[in-house]
Structure 1
Amino acid sequence: MLRFPPHFPGLFASAALLLTAATAVRADIVSDWNSLALTSMTTTADPLVAHDLAILAASMYNADQSIAGTYNTYGYGAYPAPGAGPAGADSQAAMIAAANTVMQYLYSGSSTEATSLYNSQLSGIADSQAKTDGVAWGITIANNLLSARSADGSADAATTTYSPVGTIGYWQQTSSAGALLPGWGSVGTFAIPGVGGYMTTLPGGSVTAYLQSSQYAADYAQVKDLGANFSATRTSDQTNQAYFWAAGDGTVKMSGMWNQIAQTAAATAGLSTAETARLLATLNVAIADASTAAMATSYDTQFWRPETAIANGDIDGNASTVVDSFWAPLINSPSLPEYVSLGATISEAAAVVLASYLGDNVSFSLGSDINGDGSTDLTRNFTSFSQAANEAAMAGVYGGTQFQTSVAEGQILGYNVANYVLANNFTVVPEPAGAVLVLCGGLFLLGARRRR
C-alpha cells in the first residue's frame, strides 16, 4: 500500500488568482457542460457524481485530443485510447457532440436543457464538412466510452446486499436510509490498477486493536468535544466549516464543489478550452478512483460512526472513553461506515490535481448550498487548494461524523490516487524533435558503452 504524507511538494508555481462571484468568467464549452451536469446531479450520491463527471470529462477530452493531438488520449482496461480523429474535423464540434451524447444517456431528465445547450453551442460554429465530421466523431467517442463503462458495476452498487456485523466497533445505521452504495468498492476504476493497493487499514490492523488504543481514545475525545450538536468548545467558524462542506441531499455534493472550484480557477487562469478539458478530465478521474478506493475501504472495515461509538463508550474495551447516551452530532451521519472519510479523500485528490496544474497558492471564494434548496447559504474564502482540502477534511470532525484518524488516512488515500493519475494519464505527446533527440542520445550512450 502506498503511503505518503498529505502535503504538497514545494515545486508548484505560485499563483495569485482571486476567484470570486464577481470574477468575469468567460464562456467555455467545457465549463458550460460541466455546470449543466452539476445541476442535473443534485439527487445523485457521491461517488456516483464523480463517476459520471469522469465519463463526461473524459469524453470531451478524447473528442478534442484525438483531433488536436497535443496530449495523449485517455484509455483504460476495456476502453482503448482512441486513435486519431478524422482529418480536418472540428474538435470543438466533437466535444459538444460528445458531451451531449453522455448527458442524454446518463441524465435523460436533463434532455431539454442538454439539447438547448447543444444547439446553442453548435450554432456558433459555421456549417462545414469539418463541423459535420466533428459531430459524428464526438458521438462515436462518447458512445464507445459509455459502452465500455456500461458493465463497470456502477449500476448494481446500490442493490448489493449489505448485512451489518452488529457487534462492538462495527457500523450500525443511524437513520432510516439504507446503506449507501454498498457495492461501490467493486466498481471498475478509471485509471488506477484496482483499489487493493490504495485501500488502508485501521491502526493496529483491526477494529479491536484500534478500539483499545490511545489513538482511538484521543480521536473519541476530540470528536465528542468538537463535534457535538451543542458543543461548548467548537468555534463559530468551525461550525460554519462543518455546515459549508456537509454536501448533503439536494446539493452538488463534495465532488461537485471541487468541480465548481476547478471551473472558476480555469477561467481565471485563462486556460484554453483544451486545457480546461484536460484539467477537468484529470480532476474527475482522480476523484472517481479515489472515491472507489475509499468506498472499498469503508465497507471492508465497517467501522462505526461517532454517535454510535459515544453511546457505547462503556463497552468498547477502552477505559479512556467515557459514555454519553445523549450525545448527538452537529451534522447527520452519512449512511455508510465511518472509515475512511470520503470527504477527506475526495478533497485531497482534487487539491493535488488542481495544485499540479495551477500551483497551490490560488486565492478563491466558494459558495455552498447548505440545505439543498439551490441557493447559496454560505461563502468562504481560501488562499490555497490545500487549505480548502484540509478544511473540507476537518469539517467531518467538527460536524461529529468522522474521527481524526479517518480524516488523515483519507487524505493519504486521495493523495496517492491523484499522483498516480497525474503521472500516468493526460500527458503531453512528445514533440517529434524531442523524440529524435531521445533516440540519438540513446544511440550515443549505446555507442559509448561499446567503445569501453
Structure 2
Amino acid sequence: MSPFRRHFLRLLASSVLVLTSVTPVRADLVTDWNALALSTMSTSTEAPVMARDLALLHTSIYNAAESIRGGYQTYGFGSYSAPSGGTLGASYEAAMAAAANTVLQSLYSGSSAAFTTLYNTQLGAIAGGQAKDDGIAWGISIANDMLTWRSTDGASSAASTPYSPVGTVGYWAQTSAAGALLPGWGTVGTFAIPGTGAYMSSLPGGSIASYLLTGQYATDYNQVKDIGSSFSLTRTSDQTNQAYFWAAGDGTVKTTGMWNEVAQTAATSAGLVVTDTARLFAAVNVAMADAGITAMATSYDTQFWRPETAIANGDADGNASTDVDAAWAPLINSPSFPEYVALGGTLSEAAAAVLASYLGDNVAFSLGSDINGDGSTDLIRNFTSFSQAADEAALSGIYGGYQFGTSTTDGQAIGANVASFVVGNNFALVPEPSGALLVLLGTGMFLFGARRRR
C-alpha cells in the first residue's frame, strides 16, 4: 500500500472515530453539575466569587469536550494555552464529568460526597472500556491545568485586601456591621478581556465632587429617595416585588446563580445538545466573571456613597436640589461595598447579552427567586426576553433603595461591552477544512462536515 493511501485511510478512520463520539448526549450532564454547584455555593459564596468559580468549572467542562471533539475552538487566555490533542476516540462525556468533579472537589472540598455521588452516577451511564478510561484521564488533566492557572489569579486574597473608607462627603461609608466586601476583587485576573481598565466607567463629571453638583445627581438622588424608601408611597407593588426578587441576599444563589438558572431553562427549551450547552454556560460565566471583576474594580476605584448615606447628608453635598432626610431608610439593606457601579445590573446585562447572542433575545421564560435564603422559591416572575429581565434586575436596585440610576445605566454598559468581547473572541466554530483538503479527502469530506453540524 502506498504511503499516500495509508495516510488517507488514517485520516478517514480518524473521521469515523470522531463522528461516532459526538452522538447527542443528554444536556443534563452539564446542567446537573451546574445545579449542584449553585446549591453548594449558595450558603456562603458572593456573586463575583461565584462567577469566577463557575467560569472555571464551565470552561473546564467545555475544554474537556472540545479538545476531543474539535467542533468548537478550545478556550485559552494569557498564560493558559488552549488545549488540543485529546486522546483519539476518548469519551468526551467521561472527560466532561471528570473535569467537573475535579474542579468542584478542589474548590469546595466540604461538599465532596455530593460531587462524588453525581460523578459516579454520570460515569455509570457511560459504557466501560478504553474510551471511557481515556476520557476520565483527559478530563482530570484538563481540570488540573485550569486549576493551576487560576490558583495565582488573586482571588484567594481579595477579601483580605486592606481597605479603609475615606470618610468624607460623597465617599462610601459602611452602613452595617459587615466589613467592606471583597475590596481586592477588582485586581483578580480576568478570563477573557485584556484587563479591566478599558471597560471601567466613571461618574458624570469625572469625579465625586463634580458629580455631586450636577443636575444628574439631583435626579438620581430624588428618584431613589422617593421610590426606594422603605415606606415609599409611589413605588408600586410590582416594583416592590422586583426589588425583593432580584435582591439575591445571603443564602441564595445570588445574581450569578439566577442567571445560570435562566441559562439552564433556555438551553433546555432550545433543545441544545450537551456540547452546545457546555459552550453556552462557558460563555455566560466567563462574561459574568469578567463583568464582576470590572464592576468591583470600578466600585473601589470610585468609592461613591450609598443612597442612605447620601440622603442623610443631603445638606452637605453642595447641591441645592438634594434635601436631607435623616430618618430615611432603604427598602432593602445596602450591600457592603461602594455604590458605583451596580454589580447586579452589570452581571445581569453581561449574562443577558451572551444569551441573546447565542439564542436570540426574544426568548420567553419564567424564573423563581428565593427571597429569604431558606432554599425555597418565594416569587416567580415571567419574562418575554433576556433584555427585559436584565433591565428589571438593574432597576430593582433603585426600587430597593440602594442604587442610583446612573450606577445602573453605567453598569449595564459595562456588562454589554464585556459580553460583546467574550462572544466575539471565544468559543467559535472550528473553521471548515480548506478546499484543497476537502477535494483530497473525498468521502471523508462529508464525515468532517458532519461532526460540526447539529
**TM-score, length of structure 2 as denominator length:** 0.90
* Residue 104 (structure 2) pairs with residue 93 (structure 1): no
Deviation digits for residues 198-235 of structure 1, max 9, x if unmatched? Answer: 01000000000000000000000000000000100000
Q: Which residue of 1 aligns with 2:116?
A: 115
Aligned in 2, Cα 1:92/1:320: closer, same or farther, shift over 3 Å? same
| Distance in 1, Cα, partners of 2:171 & 2:131 | 59
Note closer, same or farther for the CA distance 1:208–1:191 as it changes in structure 2 (3 Å cut). same
Distance 1:77 1:336 in 2: 29
Letter in 2 for 1:349: A
Q: For residues 85-109 of structure 1, give each alpha carbon's deviation from its aligned partner in whole angstroms, at most 9, with x where no partner exists.
A: 0011000000000000001000111
Query: How many residues of Structure 1 are paired with residues of Structure 2 in the alignment?
Result: 412
Aligned to 2:35: 35
1:154 equivalent in structure 2: 155
Provide the residue aligned with 1:297 in structure 2: 298
What are the equivalent positions in structure 2 for 1:177-256 lying under 5 Å apart? 177-256=178-257
- CA shift for structure 1 position 110: 1.2
Map 1:112-151 to 2 at 5 A: 112-151=113-152
Question: Counterparts in 2 of 1:335-354, with a 5 A limit?
Answer: 335-354=336-355
SS of residue matched to 1:140: helix
Q: Distance in 2 between matches of 1:68 and 1:324?
A: 62
- Distance (Å, rounded) in 2 between the aligned partners of 1:179 and 1:207: 19
Correspondence for 1:328: 329
User: Quick one: structure 1 residues 436 and 336, their matched pair in 2 at CA, closer, same or farther if it must change by over 3 Å?
Assistant: farther
Distance in 1 (CA, whole Å) between partners of 2:121 and 2:230 is 48
* Structure ID, larger Rg: 2
Q: Aligned with 1:137: secondary structure?
A: helix
Secondary structure of the 2:47 match is: coil
Residue 85 of structure 2: SS of its match in structure 1?
coil
Partner of residue 168, structure 2: 167
Shift of 1:434: 6.3
Q: Give the corresponding residue for 2:369.
A: 368
CA distance in 2, matches of 1:33, 1:223: 39
Q: Which amino acid aligns with 1:335?
A: S
Aligned to 1:422: 423
1:433 CA displacement: 3.6
Helix, strand or coil at the partner of 1:201: coil
| SS state at 2:159 partner | helix
The Cα shift of 1:435 comes to 8.9
Deviation at 1:268, TM superposition (A): 1.0
Give, in whole Å, the separation in 2 of the partners of 1:36 and 1:141. 20
Once residues 433 and 326 of structure 1 are traced to their aligned partners in structure 2, the CA distance between those partners, rounded to angstroms, is 71
Which structure 2 residue ranges, 5 or more long, are not aligned?
Answer: 1-25, 439-454
Q: CA RMSD in A?
A: 1.0
Equivalence for 2:5: none
TM-score (norm 1): 0.90
- Distance across 2 between alignment mates of 1:211 and 1:49: 33
Answer yes or no: is the 8 Å Cα contact 2:27–2:274 preserved in 1: no
Cα deviation 1:253-286 (Å, max 9, x = unaligned): 0000000000111011100000000000000000
Q: One-letter code of the match for 1:384?
A: S
Deviations 1:111-163 (CA, angstroms, capped at 9, x unpaired): 11100000000000010100000000000000000000000000000000001
Q: 4+ runs of 1 displaced by more than 4 Å? A: 434-437
Match of 2:15 in 1: none
Q: Which amino acid aligns with 2:29?
A: I
The match for 2:408 is 407
Q: Shift in Å at residue 78 of structure 1? A: 1.9
Displacement of 1:298 after TM fit? 0.1
Q: 2:356 aligned with 1:391, yes or no?
A: no
Cα distance in structure 1, aligned partners of 2:177 and 2:85:
51
Aligned to 1:73: 74
